[in-house]
Amino acid sequence: MVICFSGLMKGEMMKVSLLLLFLALLTPFIYFFVGASMRQPNYFAFSELEEPNFSATGDESQLGTELVNPNSEKPATKLATFGNGCFWCTEAVFENLEGVTSAVSGYSGGSVVNPTYEAVCAGTTGHAEVIQIEYEPEKISFATLLKAFWMSHDPTTMNRQGNDVGTQYRSVVFYHDEFQRKTAESFKNQLNGANVFSSKIVTEISPFSRFYQAESYHQEYFKLNGRAPYCQWIIKPKLKKFNKAFAKFADEFPSDGQEQADVGEDASVQTRNTTWVKVRKSDAEWRKQLTSQQYNVLRRKGTERAFTGKDWDNKKSGQYNCVGCDLPLFASETKFASGTGWPSFYQPVNKINVSEKPDNTFFSTRTEVLCSRCDGHLGHVFEDGPQPTGLRYCINSASLVFQANK
Ligand SMILES: [Zn+2]
């Protein structure tokens, strides 16, 4: 009996094993066919979008909704309101863009006054989950925001984003003026004309009426709940995909005149002890001054390929200055062979000559290093360097000008 039973088990086990093997072999094919049916949008077309022309007399008088900031030193900002699915995801997308001063989650486009999240989710208020973006037109254009909007969600599904279904998740641009309406209509037509997405864009373009800020626990959801499963599985991959596509195909982030996010004690030290003044240049001036590689690193936070820069293996005695403004940054005495293929130093010549800023671009805990005088991107600092500091300033050669000691 025992022998019989074990014999049967063996046979069954065999069948199960064969079935599992068969499924394992089939999996890549299933992935392939399912994947092929979901064609990637042709994001390249975003770089070719033409902005509509506006006559100087008619439309320009109505450009944007200017908010006169109580702090008069700050430039005037404008508003843009987009609905592109669950606002937990979209808030994070826009907050990362240079020139966006705030991105607030809320509801718009419905009939109910002061709606609650529960009511909006029930789909009966007519409201969409939206992000109200306050931006500085000097730094980021409405056109760039529109590109970010269309690249960060699927605008071809009616009232649906992934698993979120309902009119509250509809793709919508609530325009604040004629300029925004015309730009949105024009881009939508161009994208549809070029068949950028696998089917037609269904994004609604409607006049803005009123915005209701969402309950406070929704604001900055991703930043505060980055470890929650929803963020890990839905928002994070989405953001990663977006950052990649946007950096590649949307137009440039205007990058000069960046505000330092981390002003604290260091900032006051900086103003007290330094004799140099900040260098501020327009994007056109930077382009003219720098080579395309220097521009890409310094002004667009690019990274040169490892082992390709001029200084990673430079063992000469001397000083490394900022290629953008000539501020002394590092000295050969603090340079060490890190094996990374980038010039590496354990400390700057003067702590106040470089500024540090948290960098979440790749969802790691990197710290960006910038030139304090011109805010040019230099590289990153890591805590795995040699003594006496234990720090490793991993710097792009393209950001540096080397001056040999005589
Ligand atoms: Zn500089």
User: Is 66 or 119 the better-scoring residue by pLDDT?
Assistant: 119
Of 52-66, 85-99, 148-162, 163-177, the one with minimum mean pLDDT is: 52-66
Contact 35, 28 (CB under 8 A): no
Q: Is the pLDDT of residue 29 over 80?
A: no
Q: State residue 54's pLDDT score.
A: 58
Average pLDDT for the chain: 77
User: Is 118 or 67 the better-scoring residue by pLDDT?
Assistant: 118
Share of the chain above pLDDT 70, in %: 70
Q: State residue 38's pLDDT score.
A: 47
Q: State residue 27's pLDDT score.
A: 61
Mapped onto helix, strand or coil, the DSSP state of residue 395 is strand
| Spacing, Cα 128 to ligand 1 middle (Å) | 44
Q: Is the pLDDT of residue 20 over 90?
A: no
Q: Which of 89, 322, 325, 394 is catalytic?
A: 394
Task: Using CA atoms of 266, 219, 251, 190 in order, give the dihedral in degrees to the nearest 10.
Answer: -170
Tokens 């909007």 belong to 149
Q: Is the pLDDT of residue 253 over 50?
A: no
Q: Is the pLDDT of residue 33 over 60?
A: no
Q: State residue 111's pLDDT score.
A: 85
| Spacing, Cα 321 to ligand 1 middle (Å) | 8
Q: Which of 86, 89, 322, 374 is catalytic?
A: 86
Q: Report pLDDT digits (tens) over 88-113.
A: 767 777 877 778 888 888 889 888 88
| Spacing, Cα 142 to ligand 1 middle (Å) | 29
| Spacing, Cα 4 to ligand 1 middle (Å) | 82
| Spacing, Cα 59 to ligand 1 middle (Å) | 39
Is it true that the peptide bond before 229 is cis, omega within 30 degrees of 0? no
Q: Which residues contact 190 (CB under 8 A, 6 or more apart)?
A: 45, 49, 50
| Spacing, Cα 322 to ligand 1 middle (Å) | 5
Our answer to whether residue 374 is catalytic in this structure is no
How many Å apart are CA 348 and CA 320, to the nearest integer? 10
Ramachandran sector of residue 382 (left: φ over 0; alpha: ψ -120 to 50; beta: rest):
beta
Domains of the chain by start residue, with CATH = 45-50+62-249 (3.30.1060.10), 265-404 (2.170.150.20)
Q: Is the pTM of this model over 0.75?
A: no
Strands (E), 136-234: 160-161, 164-165, 171-175, 204-207, 211-213
Q: State residue 296's pLDDT score.
A: 95
How many Å apart are CA 67 and CA 62, to the nearest integer? 13
User: Is 28 or 60 the better-scoring residue by pLDDT?
Assistant: 28
Of 20-29, 32-41, 330-339, the one with minimum mean pLDDT is: 32-41
Cα dihedral 101, 104, 110, 112 sign? negative
CA distances from 25 to 16, 28, 33, 131, 163 (A): 14, 7, 14, 44, 29
Q: State residue 184's pLDDT score.
A: 94
Element (H, E) at 36: helix 2-37
Contact 333, 346 (CB under 8 A): no
3-state helix, strand, coil in the chain (%, to 5): 35, 20, 45
User: Is 64 or 249 the better-scoring residue by pLDDT?
Assistant: 249
Q: State residue 59's pLDDT score.
A: 42
| Spacing, Cα 85 to ligand 1 middle (Å) | 40
Query: In sequence order, which ranges of 68-170 are alpha helices (DSSP H)?
Result: 87-95, 117-122, 142-151
Q: Is the pLDDT of residue 12 over 60?
A: yes
How many Å apart are CA 90 and CA 93, to the nearest integer? 5
Tell me the β-bridge partners of 235.
Answer: none
Q: State residue 229's pLDDT score.
A: 64
Q: Is the pLDDT of residue 234 over 60?
A: yes
Q: Report pLDDT digits (tens) over 255-313.
A: 323 333 332 223 322 332 334 567 888 999 999 999 999 999 999 999 999 999 999 99
How many Å apart are CA 184 and CA 36, to the nearest integer? 30
Ion ligand 1 nearby residues (CB, 5 A): 322, 324-325, 327, 371, 373-374, 376
Task: Using CA atoms of 222, 223, 228, 231 in order, give the dihedral in degrees to the nearest 10.
Answer: 30
How many Å apart are CA 282 and CA 287, to the nearest integer? 9
Q: Is the pLDDT of residue 81 over 70?
A: yes
Q: State residue 373's pLDDT score.
A: 86
Q: Is the pLDDT of residue 227 over 90?
A: no
Pairing verdict, β 328-331 and 318-322: antiparallel
- Read off the pLDDT band of 345 (50, 70, 90): very high
User: Is 93 or 370 the better-scoring residue by pLDDT?
Assistant: 370
Share of the chain above pLDDT 90, in %: 33
Mapped onto helix, strand or coil, the DSSP state of residue 131 is strand
Taking residues 347-362, what's their average pLDDT?
A: 84
Our answer to whether residue 89 is catalytic in this structure is no
Q: Is the pLDDT of residue 252 over 70?
A: no
Q: Is the pLDDT of residue 343 over 60?
A: yes
